[in-house]
A and B are shown apart, each in its own frame.
Chain A
């Protein structure tokens, strides 16, 4: 591994931890947080581009960040609504009750 690729470890780690959490957490808030982490990984990857690449990567990071934030808020609203109805955010538990 070259020194140049070291700065990619953090975004790659965030992305991997995020994607792992998406599939293995049952808690909906955990899933939302994992999704946010995976977005941070993508944004981190864009920010790690050298400045010689021009301002485009930073603009893309800004846009991806805005979309990620908006979606996380939306997922948060969904979680809040589900919490109000079911008093839990465990996906399996809610699923059982909804299917009845």
Chain B
């Protein structure tokens, strides 16, 4: 059984979906507990992979013993297993919040029953995206994940068919662009395996082909990267429960960013490739555009919209790491990725918990004096905001620290100036927000007591953000460094000549 853990990580939630759906015909409670059980079982299975992964490194598993391209190969690395554990934790939290949302919003039981299996399907697909090593299977799971996410929006959002349709269309277009890029590469190299693609591209030395495929593959993630920016998803934001927005933007968007990392550094990173000037300029401008969302976040009067802008804005840090591409930069980017998953989910959850309405407007004025009524809730919010700003010892601080180190090493002033500007700028809204939480104002503020059961997920996430910072050295050493491209690993002899230090 232990030998098949990689495939079980995907098979358990996928099989559990059917059980949960089947039990839903008989009992709402049974269906709900089945979903809990499936997610928890998968979390335990991920946990069981850690000893082997930490001792022996990445775990390769061929499904049914078939080799690629006909067989599906899975690769579980320490970092992807850590991401999987985080995703399962966030899925459990989202499912837990779904129960209380169903009661508050008067959600139909049939929709609530359907949401459980859809959530486990989405989780299974995202886990598969981390582990599969061939381009076509990656596309299939990405596409299935988009369908499950659109289904969740239809189930949970008020009048969600239009938003579900647009999400399905946008996500599927992204997945199709990804497929087009993969097929483009397949046509030129004759392989779909992501590791083999790099070797074939190196042998072919066809840089124009790499650039063409790269453009298709990168543009595939455009839709996911801008989710849930209020510029494009305003109606969706106002009609979807915050915990679901948090789950999608922390888990789905960050998974897409991780796939982008795999594509850029493990498939298209052909030694000797030089980007044309127009592409380098566009690449450098992209993170600046994302960081610009911090200015919009500070201008909002609605907590939910501000958090949505923050979710998009923070991706700018990760993209800076990808553009620099050095060891410090990628370490910082992956550290940011971990920290952002927790913080984004925490902030969206806080919007839902601190609001009396299940959906709609969530004005900041209602948060005035929350800290005086409930100190712990305010403290959790301050921890999340501190991580966004980059205050030690949160996980966000160490991510930004490594990114700044990389910017200094590379002397990239074009990206360093906006990043430092944004980090200083963010101190002002963070201080204002903290002041608001402890402001002594009675009128029009939030006074309802918050139960411990509601705050428990916030506590878990805030604790995880702090632990990420406190144990950053262990996390970097055990999880992040092995996930970096081979050129940055301290291997005595490179196992593939052209990927080793000699060329780099």
Tell me which residues across on chain B come within 8 A of A99, comparing CB atoms: 235, 238
- A residues near B (Cβ < 8 Å) are 15, 19, 22, 28, 31-32, 35, 38-39, 42, 45-46, 49, 53, 56-57, 60, 63-64, 67, 71, 74-75, 78-79, 81-82, 85, 91, 94-95, 98-99
Task: Using A22-B173, A35-B172, A46-B183 as known contacts, say yes or no to A78 and B190 having CB atoms under 8 A apart.
Answer: no
Name B137's closest neighbour in chain A (CB-CB).
A63
Tell me which residues across on chain B come within 8 A of A78, comparing CB atoms: 154, 161, 164-165, 168
> In chain B between 134 and 172, which residues have their CB closer than 8 angstroms to a CB of chain A?
136, 140, 143, 147, 154, 159, 161-162, 164-166, 168-169, 172
B179 within 8 A of A: yes
Q: Are B180 and A15 in contact (CB under 8 A)?
A: yes
Task: Using A15-B180, A22-B173, A42-B183 as known contacts, say yes or no to A71 and B161 having CB atoms under 8 A apart.
Answer: no
Q: Can you list 21 A-B pairs with a CB-CB distance of less than 8 A?
A: A35-B173, A38-B176, A46-B183, A56-B70, A60-B136, A60-B183, A60-B186, A67-B140, A67-B143, A71-B143, A71-B147, A78-B168, A79-B165, A82-B165, A85-B159, A95-B162, A98-B159, A98-B162, A98-B235, A98-B239, A99-B235
- Shortest C-beta distance, A16 to chain B (Å), equals 11
The CA-CA distance from A54 to B452 in the complex, in Å, is: 61
Tell me which residues across on chain A come within 8 A of B176, comparing CB atoms: 35, 38-39, 42
- Shortest C-beta distance, B213 to chain A (Å), equals 13
Cross-interface CB contact of B235 among A38, A74, A79, A95, cutoff 8 Å: A95
Name B234's closest neighbour in chain A (CB-CB).
A99
Q: Are B187 and A82 in contact (CB under 8 A)?
A: no
The CA-CA distance from A15 to B181 in the complex, in Å, is: 13
Cross-interface CB contact of B168 among A19, A57, A74, A98, cutoff 8 Å: A74
Tell me which residues across on chain A come within 8 A of B147, comparing CB atoms: 71, 74
Tell me which residues across on chain B come within 8 A of A71, comparing CB atoms: 143, 147, 168, 172
Closest 4 interchain pairs by CB?
A: A78-B165, A98-B159, A81-B161, A82-B161
- Shortest C-beta distance, A6 to chain B (Å), equals 16
Name B190's closest neighbour in chain A (CB-CB).
A53
The CA-CA distance from A42 to B168 in the complex, in Å, is: 18
Name A61's closest neighbour in chain B (CB-CB).
B183
Tell me which residues across on chain A come within 8 A of B190, comparing CB atoms: 53
- Shortest C-beta distance, B200 to chain A (Å), equals 14
Tell me which residues across on chain B come within 8 A of A63, comparing CB atoms: 136, 140
The CA-CA distance from A64 to B175 in the complex, in Å, is: 11
Name B159's closest neighbour in chain A (CB-CB).
A98
The CA-CA distance from A42 to B176 in the complex, in Å, is: 8
Tell me which residues across on chain A come within 8 A of B179, comparing CB atoms: 42, 64
